[in-house]
Structure 1
Amino acid sequence: MTRFVNKVVVVGGGTMGCAVAAIFNVAGWTAYVVETDELVRLGLPGRIDAAAQTLGASGREIPSIICGALVDVDWADVDIVIECVFEDLALKQAVFAEIEALCPAPTPLTSNSSSFPIGQIGKGLATQSRMLGLHFFMPAHLVPAVEVISSQASDEPTAVRVSEIMRAVGKKPIRVKRDIPGFLANRIQHALMREAIALVEEDFASPEDVDAAVRYGFGFRYIAAGPLLQKDLAGIDIHCAAAATMYPYLRTDQEPSAHMRQLVANGHIGVKSASLRGFYQWTPEQVAVEQKRYEAALLKAARILSDEEVGH
């Protein structure tokens, strides 16, 4: 069994960085969290603790160590570095250039980027072989999966080690063998979203009915079996016949839908917008209730998958 010092450095104290730090804290790891913004830094202990409490923290966790700069971190014996800064390529490249000078090889260097190719982020590093993508899904502390993405330069033993670290802190690593736009889960998710939004845009169904079709229909099965396993169980011939009928009519747009672009242009981007509008119209009270229900449902689903993992 691989042994770890149980020491992680999380760079960036935003929503994702706080959740990642909480994951490691609850697993008994020491987490150094680097955040340059002083105001954000002041609120980090409370936000990390809130995420840890959601995960069932016992109160015996080692508190995260908050740092204002990378040079303030104790870089000795770090098991892994996880970058969670803003999605700006130049910023990420600059951060990794500084990290590489401070963090000795072969410590894995990983980026939580959801959009930039990992090879592009690591371009110019002398130790690109230890650079990987580590893509968490929001809310990161509640969604079990995390994508471990290799670029052409990534070293296979490093990818294996990162996957082992993820398992050690209770996550489900998903290996992505090639560095492609959107990686794995987002490509599947966006294909579904393109069709879902098109059905609303063309007035075939309401947002409520599209969501119900996924949650109470085929999406309900996904907690038990992914799409490929489910087709093995149901019959690939049935799917193939249905595909021949439907594929010619599915949307193949090369850009986001006009409906979605209009929502964004008007500032209607969901519950975080001033209008509290997106595909739905919200009130502050509805937002609070829905977010609580959403978290509770994710925790129940995570327990189902956790029990299954133990059974294996």
Structure 2
Amino acid sequence: MNKTGKAVVIGGGTMGSAVAAIFCAAGWNADVVETDASVRAALPGKITAAGSVIGNGNIGGTVTIHEELDAIDWRGVDIVIECVFEILAVKKAVFARLEALCPASIPLTSNSSSFPISDIGQGLSTLDRMLGLHFFMPAHLVPAVEVVRSAASDEAVTERVCQIMCEVGKKPIRVQRDVPGFLANRIQHALMREAIALVEEGFASAEDVDAAVRYGFGLRYIAAGPLLQKDLGGIDIHYAAAKTMYPHLHNDQEPSAYMRRLVEEGHIGVKSPARKGFYDWTEDRIAAEQLRYETALLKAINILLDEEARKE
């Protein structure tokens, strides 16, 4: 039986509420700190909805919502996860406050998707207990969590955080060096740079690029990651293809003009007022696509869970 404990989540937005739901669904208690009153009001419903999806309708843990960090009772806390806005100065201020309030035995982690933990904790005296803990959206569904070390991170703390992630049903991915973008986002952005360039330069539509990934090589990734797949298929074949293609791949140092234009015009996807991005959206299409997306993720997760169960 998995150990249960207590987690403190700083920030109750999209990621923070999902992270709290992960712990509650696993039978842990979660304290959530959120300064915005409207966000606080929506938290119970969001946590219950997300937790029910991953807990088969049962949420074993309790959630307590606070307006300020000072309200936290640190007794029995096993881990702290910061999920505030992706602004370095804000994260640094949170960690400075946490260091002053939180007993030195408790790991302090950040869900930052890009900032190295060494930057967030720069100048603090307990950087050895600080780690990056990067969840992927939607956090309550995607199993992987990157556990990111800095040069100062203590190995025992890293092991402890990895174990906690296993206990709440996640798949910890160890990142041994504190590098911007960590593992998954670096790989994702390399793919996105080429995908956007192919659309921008007229080689294919957004629909066909997405179909090439979903119905082509992306389908294999549920069964084998890119390196294992090349071992199975032949590194020599990949090497020969790379010699032909690499000179023609994009290696721009800045985001593409096409993507910059979309952002400047406010066409950032389903959350934009114009409901535009790489695709055009309507309210009905958004609802249908979000349902399809979540259903497909759940089916894929069941494949992975079945595989993990067979290993035990």
Contact 2:230–2:238 (Cα < 8 Å) also in 1: yes
In the alignment, which residue of structure 1 is the partner of 2:307? Answer: 308
In the alignment, which residue of structure 2 is the partner of 1:33? Answer: 32
In the alignment, which residue of structure 2 is the partner of 1:234? Answer: 233
CA drift of 1:42 comes to 1.1
Q: Give the counterpart letter for 1:71 in structure 2.
A: D
Structural mapping, 1:39-58, within 5 Å: 39-58=38-57
CA drift of 1:84 comes to 0.1
Question: Deviation digits for residues 99-126 of structure 1, max 9, x if unmatched?
Answer: 1121112211000001211101011211
Structural mapping, 1:170-189, within 5 Å: 170-189=169-188
In the alignment, which residue of structure 1 is the partner of 2:168? Answer: 169
Structural mapping, 1:285-304, within 5 Å: 285-304=284-303
SS in 2 for 1:135: strand
Contact 2:52–2:59 (Cα < 8 Å) also in 1: no
- Is 55-64 or 145-154 further displaced after alignment? 55-64
Gaps of 5+ in 1: none
Moved over 3 A (4+): 56-60
In the alignment, which residue of structure 1 is the partner of 2:104? Answer: 105
Q: Give the counterpart letter for 1:64 in structure 2.
A: V
Question: Deviation digits for residues 165-195 of structure 1, max 9, x if unmatched?
Answer: 0011000000000001111000000000000
Q: Give the counterpart letter for 2:107 in structure 1.
A: P
In the alignment, which residue of structure 2 is the partner of 1:70? Answer: 69
- Is 21-30 or 49-58 further displaced after alignment? 49-58
In the alignment, which residue of structure 2 is the partner of 1:256? Answer: 255
In the alignment, which residue of structure 1 is the partner of 2:242? Answer: 243
Q: Give the counterpart letter for 2:279 in structure 1.
A: Y
Q: Give the counterpart letter for 1:36 in structure 2.
A: T
Structural mapping, 1:199-278, within 5 Å: 199-278=198-277
CA distance in 1: counterparts of 2:159 and 2:67, whole angstroms: 31
CA distance in 2: counterparts of 1:227 and 1:220, whole angstroms: 11
Question: Deviation digits for residues 5-40 of structure 1, max 9, x if unmatched?
Answer: 511000000000000000000000000000011121
CA distance in 2: counterparts of 1:81 and 1:139, whole angstroms: 20
Contact 1:4–1:79 (Cα < 8 Å) also in 2: no
In the alignment, which residue of structure 2 is the partner of 1:6? Answer: 5
SS in 2 for 1:277: coil
Contact 1:133–1:149 (Cα < 8 Å) also in 2: yes
CA distance in 2: counterparts of 1:245 and 1:155, whole angstroms: 44
SS in 2 for 1:120: helix
CA drift of 1:57 comes to 4.0
CA drift of 1:130 comes to 0.1
CA drift of 1:98 comes to 1.2
- Is 215-224 or 117-126 further displaced after alignment? 117-126
The answer on 1:191 being equivalent to 2:194 is: no
In the alignment, which residue of structure 2 is the partner of 1:93? Answer: 92
CA distance in 1: counterparts of 2:276 and 2:261, whole angstroms: 12
CA drift of 1:310 comes to 1.1
CA drift of 1:62 comes to 2.4
Contact 2:26–2:61 (Cα < 8 Å) also in 1: no
In the alignment, which residue of structure 2 is the partner of 1:150? Answer: 149
The answer on 1:61 being equivalent to 2:53 is: no
Q: Give the counterpart letter for 1:41 in structure 2.
A: R
CA drift of 1:93 comes to 1.0
TM-score normalised by L of structure 1? 0.98
Q: Percent identity?
A: 69
Q: Give the counterpart letter for 2:300 in structure 1.
A: A
SS in 2 for 1:271: coil
In the alignment, which residue of structure 2 is the partner of 1:140? Answer: 139
CA distance in 1: counterparts of 2:119 and 2:228, whole angstroms: 33
In the alignment, which residue of structure 2 is the partner of 1:160? Answer: 159
SS in 2 for 1:143: coil
In the alignment, which residue of structure 2 is the partner of 1:121? Answer: 120
